[in-house]
Amino acid sequence: MEILDLTLVRALESMGGGAFSAVEYVQAMLERNREVAHLNAIVCHDEASLLASAARRDRQRRHNDNPALLGAPLLLKDNINTVDLPTSGCTPALKGHVPPKNAPVAQALIDAGAVIFGKANMHELAFGITNNNPTFGPARNPYNPDLIPGGSSGGTAAAIAAGVLPAGIGTDTGGSTRLPAAFCGICGFRPTIGRYPTGGVIPISATRDTPGPMARAVEDLQLLDRVMAAGTAPAETIGLAEVRLGVPRAYYYENLEMATAEVIEATLDLLAASCKALVEVDLERVDELTGKVGFPIALYEARRDMVQYLADFAPDISIEDVLAQIASPDVKEVYSAVVSETAVTEAVYREAMTVHRPEMQALFSDYFASNNFDAMVIPTVPLTAPPLGHDTNIDLNGRQHPTMPTIIRNTDPSSNVGIPSLSVAVGLAANGLPVGVCLEGPAGSDRKILAIGKALQDEVGFLPRPVVRTTKQ
């Protein structure tokens, strides 16, 4: 049995049955992490402390104390507060910063028996989607280390895809759990806003930020969701034959890379043959409203929320200190406007919050209700993973486009609305790179969206593990 090929659910069952210990499980992961160290997925871990924590979980099991995640090693994105490991946001000013207490979401996982394996690489301060980090080094895509893993939760996705761990936790403001999931061939979940506690996480926007689980298996996401949401009910189950799905072609399916489009259309064919109904109905004004909601809210709230985080957890560091040491040119540019309060005016922000966001929420709510859709299905990203170093512009279908707006195009609307969104890996494109689709549903339908995702994954299966190569080969 290759224990690193097990899903988290199967690994927990095997540990519970005595097939291997938590210590043996962690040892295998440490060895795998050394083998793929050039991917730079993990920026901080303490082997001695990690093994000691696993040994404590083994003793706990011998005393018949068996919480839901007993012995589960999990990787946390480096913006989630932990008292035993630094939380830096992968930015120089916070390097080595150890907060005084765990983030509530981290504490919930620990209380459920998890072992925190380490902290994952990320785009600096989560203000980007390439994970090209000058201070900590870029995280790399396991399918091709010359490509980005996506971001900002790129390290978490890369480690899972490379077989270091079965699961981990990222955060999502505009797509940061789902984009790297799509680029790395795994699954990433953004819950209904407010489903998980958000305290103790280095912020961008209180309105839009949320932690989110990432894993190879949707079944593992269901387990983590239950713990993170403090739920007690078992995972919901549903068959594709019971599901009515919407396909909004306008906006979401426009200007797709050909290799991506081929996999997406094959997935739609599968769903059309398996679902109760797959109906093409467009969502009007998505592009217009996203522009009026997304960046105006995030860039206005970024200063306010970061100042509060620093006051609560790092009072000796100011937001000006953070700005002065930012190493990523793309982050430096936007953060300068954030700190100087010139990025967005208060009037534009208030209009976004009181007019445009409610209008957008009503638009999505009506889309699901009036069409009796359980969910809609969209491409997670318009293209497969692009090369490292293209932080400003990328090529899509022979033309240059701005990197961030292009990559977050499909994930940003649901982030603005605050509805659940699940990216599931559905195939490899002709270029050998992963492609994902997002399933998105009404606010509060998290368990159903995960159940639909599990049913879809049961049909398409897992993607083949990447054969990880070095960049020199």
Q: Catalogue the active-site residues.
A: 77, 152, 176
Measuring CA to CA, which residue among 249, 242, 91, 105 is closest to residue 170? 105
3-state SS of the chain? CCHHHCCHHHHHHHHHCCCCCHHHHHHHHHHHHHHCHHHCCEEECCHHHHHHHHHHHHHHHHCCCCCCCCCCEEEEECCECCCCCCCCCCCHHHCCCCCCCCCHHHHHHHHCCCEEEEEECCCHHHCCCCCCCCCCCCCCECCECCECCCCCCHHHHHHHHCCCCCEEEEEECCCCCHHHHHHHCCEEEECCCCCCCCCCECCCCCCCCEEEEEECCHHHHHHHHHHHCCCCCCCCCCCHHHCEEEECHHHHCCCCCHHHHHHHHHHHHHHHHHCCEEEECCCCCHHHHHHHHHHHHHHHHHHHHHHHHHHHHCCCCCHHHHHHHCCCHHHHHHHHHHHCCCCCCHHHHHHHHHHHHHHHHHHHHHHHHHCCCCEEEEECCCCCCCECCCCCEEEECCEEEEHHHHHCCCCHHHHHHCCCEEEEEEEECCCCCEEEEEEECCCCCHHHHHHHHHHHHHHHCCCCCCCCCCCCC
Any idea of the CA torsion for 215, 217, 223, 227, to the nearest 10 degrees? Answer: 10
194 HSE (CA, 13 A, CB side)? 7
Single-letter code of the amino acid located at 301? E
